[in-house]
Structures are given as structure tokens and as C-alpha cells.
Amino acid sequence: MNVEKGVNVVIGNQVEFGNNVMLGHNVIIYDGVKIGSNVVVQDNAVIGKQPTRAKNSARKNEIALSSTVIGDGCIIGTSTIIYAGAILERDVFVADLATVRERVTIGTGTIVGRGVAVENDCQIGAFCKLETNCYITAFSQLGNHVFIAPCVVTTNDNYLARSEERFLKMKGITIADGGRIGANATVLPGILIEEDGTVGAGSVVTRDVKREELVIGAPAKKRREVPQSQLLRNQNHGKGSEVYHCYPHETGMSISN
């Protein structure tokens, strides 16, 4: 075990570290967090934060969550906040100022961009790219190789916080393997995007998106099939040569870290 620490690092009880871990300045790690090997945690990051309730909540004392797990090879950016009960598999890259809430799981090699908010109880697959400032609503499920462009907004409540019905109907979004959403699009609650389904930038998605279909507009309608060259099965990274680790800086993609 070999942990290199910056100044003013705070480490709680029963925190576990693998080999070759680097912790930046002012990093805060709460009780019970498990950090793998070859992990970098950058300045001002907070890991293992318990969710907060209002002080007068009756359930205040019940909610201590299970450990946060940060897999081998993960990079946790500057001023990120990772909640208790989040599980990051191997080589996840969480960029600056992103937040990952409680009971979220994130698969191997996924990139969580700068300023991204992944809300509670989401399941995110492997090799996804969630780009700068996108917003993943609570209870969403994303497959593998999903691409969410910058500033995409997803939702889970068609009732805008009113009526008793909403508690029954609240539903995040579901995106199958290879699904993609263009920049600043808005996706309504409960929407399903099938395999390789693709949404144009700035669209408002009110209906499910079919497999390999490109939809555009407000409300979004089918424009055409996704080009063959863009289908997941025709990409190199769909064939097992995992080159994900060189995307951010070599290609100029809008990854913030």
C-alpha cells in the first residue's frame, strides 16, 4: 500500500486503499470508502458523503449508506463530490465539479464529464461518455457505450412535482447500448432510447426512440436511419480494442478533465 497525500487531507475511519494512490490537496474521504489501486483523487474532492435530509426529518438517523467504492485506475477530478453508496468500476474518469449521488453504479471505462450530475439510483454502463454539464435524472438506466452530449437534460416527473399520482408514475430514462443524445436536448420522463437510437442536438424527446433511428426537433421526429458508419457494431471500440483511455485529450472531445 502506497498512498501519496497532498496537504490538509481528511480521511475517515475504516477507509481502505489499494496500491499507488494519489490524493490531492484538501481531499476529504468519509468513513468506509474503499479505494482501489492506481487511483488519483484530485484537489478538493469529497468522497463518501452521506445524503442530507432536513434536520426535522423523522428518518434522519436511518440512512447511513453502504460504502463508496472507487475501482482500480479511476481518476476523480478536482472539486467532485461522490456520495456514499456509489460504486465506480475500473478506470472510470470523473471530471472536475461533477457529482455522483448515492446508489449510483458506473461501469468500467466510463467518462463522467466536467460538471455532470448523476442523480441517485442511476445505473450507468461501461464505456459511456457523459459530457460536460449533462444532467442524468434519478432512477435512469444507461447501457454500454452510451453517449450523452454536453448539457443534455433528462427528467423523471411528468407531473412537475404536483399531485399524488406522480409518486407512482415517476420514472427516469432508459438508454440501451449505443444510444446517443445530442447537445442540449431535453428528454421527457420515462423515455426509452433503443440500441443505437440517436437524438439530434437541441431536440425535445417526447416519444421513445427506436433502434438505429435518428430523431430531431421539438417534439423530436424520425429524420432518418443512423448512418452505418456510426453504429456501435461498426466501431473499433465495439470489437474489444478498448481505446477509450485516449479519447479526451487526443481528440479534443468535450471532456473536461
Which of positions 152-191 make contact with a second copy (CB under 8 A)?
153-157, 159-167, 170, 180, 182-184, 186, 188
Q: Cβ of residue 55: shortest distance to a second copy, in angstroms?
A: 5
Nearer to a second copy, 3 or 253 (CB): 253
**Taking the complex as a whole, how short is the minimal distance between the CB of residue 67 and a second copy, in angstroms?**
18
73 binds a second copy (CB under 8 A): yes
Query: According to the binding rule CB under 8 A, does residue 114 interact with a second copy?
Result: yes
- Contacting a second copy (CB under 8 A), which of 13, 61, 241, 251? 251
Residue 69 vs 146, nearer CB to a second copy: 146
How does strand 213-217 pair with strand 220-225?
antiparallel
By the rule CB under 8 A, 121 interacts with a second copy: yes
Query: Which distant-in-sequence residues (6+ apart) come within 8 Å of 223 by Cβ?
Result: 200, 214, 215, 216, 217
In the complex, minimum distance from the CB of residue 248 to a second copy, in angstroms, rounded to a whole number = 7
Q: Which amino acid is at 119?
A: E
Q: Which of 5, 79, 141, 211 binds a second copy (CB under 8 A)?
A: 79
CB of residue 204 vs a second copy: minimum separation in angstroms? 4
Binding to a second copy in span 15-44, by CB under 8 A: 25-26, 28, 38, 40, 42-44
Exposed e or buried b for every residue in 144-164, given b needs 16+ CB within 10 A? bbbbbbbbbebbbbeeeeeee
Q: How many residues bind a second copy (CB under 8 A)?
A: 100
Q: Counting contacts by CB under 8 A, is residue 119 touching a second copy?
A: yes
Q: Which is nearer to a second copy, 10 or 222 (CB)?
A: 10
Which residues between 222 and 241 bind a second copy (CB under 8 A)? Answer: 227, 229-232, 234-235
Among residues 30 and 87, whose Cβ is nearest to a second copy?
Answer: 30
- CB of 252 vs a second copy, minimal distance in Å: 4
The site map against a second copy for 126-145 (x = CB under 8 A) is ---x--xx-x-xxx------
Does residue 51 bind a second copy (CB under 8 A)? Answer: yes
In angstroms, the Cα distances linking 13 to 9, 24, 47, 130 are 13, 19, 13, 32
List the one residue from 2, 14, 52, 66 that touches a second copy (CB under 8 A). 52
